[in-house]
């Protein structure tokens, strides 16, 4: 009995450690310097003038909410394409994918300053290509942002050979795209791969046979919303 109890305790501890490893801080690490600065300025301002302190407190609250980064449970299904970002669907259309050189189904998610800006892998696979393009900073809600704005694309090759392209696009206010993956890496769907600061967009290019499960205007959440289903 003691032996089985010890084994059960060991397995339980291992599972607990595994679950804890998957969790991440509620606030994105990219925002820690900004949050710290906002809080310090708020404290200083409060000693100088209460109204100024209140104004900066509101700024600090905005900064904190912008950099929130919640952990979420992804739905199961190898053929599912998960949303890589929070926001609103602004495009579902057949276009040319310039990163994989093919005709593709493009689904675009526009993120405003109140959305979570952490980016997750839409599918599992190997990073086939990472391609950065400098560019403009026009409103990311506009279609031309996909080809004119600063952007960083990753082309993901799934185990079945299908390609999925995820493109981080800078916006009117966004001035920094952060991408943490390199060519050859193998990641799982919903793994965190990047972050975009202060308003932006993510374009996802899929094989034409993919079945879209969202429409223009839909609100989506990274990891939990399924954008489309790939052909098995």
| Neighbour count for residue 9 (Cβ, 10 Å) | 10
CA 102/CA 98 separation, integer angstroms: 7
Burial code (b: 16+ CB inside 10 Å, e: under 16) for 114-133 equals ebbbbbbbbbbbebbebeee
CA 97/CA 227 separation, integer angstroms: 17
Residue whose tokens read 């003691």: 2
Report CA-CA distances (Å) from 60 to 36, 156, 175, 205.
Answer: 9, 37, 19, 36
Active site residues: 200
Q: What angle do CA 218, 31, 21 make, to 5 degrees?
A: 80
Phi, psi of 11 (to 5 degrees): -65, -45
């Amino acid at each position: 009995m003691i032996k089985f109890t010890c084994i059960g305790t060991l397995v339980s501890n291992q599972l607990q450690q595994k679950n804890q490893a998957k969790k991440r801080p509620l606030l994105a690490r990219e925002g820690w310097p900004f949050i710290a600065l906002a809080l310090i300025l708020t404290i200083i301002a409060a000693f100088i003038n209460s109204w100024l302190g209140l104004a900066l407190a509101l700024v600090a609250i905005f900064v904190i909410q912008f950099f929130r980064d919640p952990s979420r449970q992804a739905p199961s299904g190898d053929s599912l394409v998960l949303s890589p970002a929070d926001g609103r669907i602004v495009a579902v259309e057949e276009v040319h994918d310039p990163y994989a050189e093919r005709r593709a189904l493009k689904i675009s998610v526009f993120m405003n300053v109140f959305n979570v800006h952490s980016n997750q892998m839409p599918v599992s696979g190997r990073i086939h290509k990472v391609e950065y393009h400098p560019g403009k900073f026009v409103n990311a809600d506009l279609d031309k942002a996909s080809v004119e704005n600063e952007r960083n694309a990753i082309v993901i090759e799934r185990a079945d050979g299908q390609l999925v392209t995820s493109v981080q696009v800078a916006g009117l206010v966004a001035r920094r795209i952060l991408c943490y993956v390199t060519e050859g890496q193998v990641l799982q769907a919903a793994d965190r791969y990047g972050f975009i600061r202060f308003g932006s967009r993510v374009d996802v290019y899929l094989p034409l046979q993919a079945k879209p499960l969202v429409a223009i205007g839909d609100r989506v959440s990274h990891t939990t919303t399924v954008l489309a289903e790939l052909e098995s």
